Amino acid sequence: LVEIKDDEAKIRRFDESRQRKLDEQSLRMRRRLIGEINEKIAAYARDQGYSGVVDSSGMSMNGVPILVYVDPNLDITARVIDVLNQ
């Protein structure tokens, strides 16, 4: 019975260790990808002469959209997606 509990503890520690490593790898990959996306968005914005780009998907701390209304003509999402897909 003691050996079984020891084996279970070893398995649990191994599982936790592997999960931590996977989480760390996922975070590194996500940060790298977001960095690459932000670089391309910034380059597009500079090329177009924009003063800034706002992520309209953001939410406030209250859980409501940060931007309540934005003129659809100002939305560059489709153009940015085209740039990212090149």
| Extents of the domains making up the chain | 2-84
- Which pLDDT score, from 0 to 100, does residue 46 have? 97
68 pLDDT higher than 90: no
66 pLDDT higher than 90: no
7-59 confidence digits (pLDDT tens): 999 999 999 999 999 999 999 999 999 999 999 999 999 999 999 999 888 88
Whole-angstrom distance, CA of residue 31 vs CA of residue 71: 30
Whole-angstrom distance, CA of residue 10 vs CA of residue 32: 33
- Which pLDDT score, from 0 to 100, does residue 38 have? 96
The structure's pTM equals: 0.72
SS3 string, 3-67, reads HHHHHHHHHHHHHHHHHHHHHHHHHHHHHHHHHHHHHHHHHHHHHHCCCCCCCCCCECCCCCECC
CB-based contacts of 48: which residues, under 8 Å, 6+ apart?
76
- Which pLDDT score, from 0 to 100, does residue 30 have? 97
- Which pLDDT score, from 0 to 100, does residue 59 have? 85
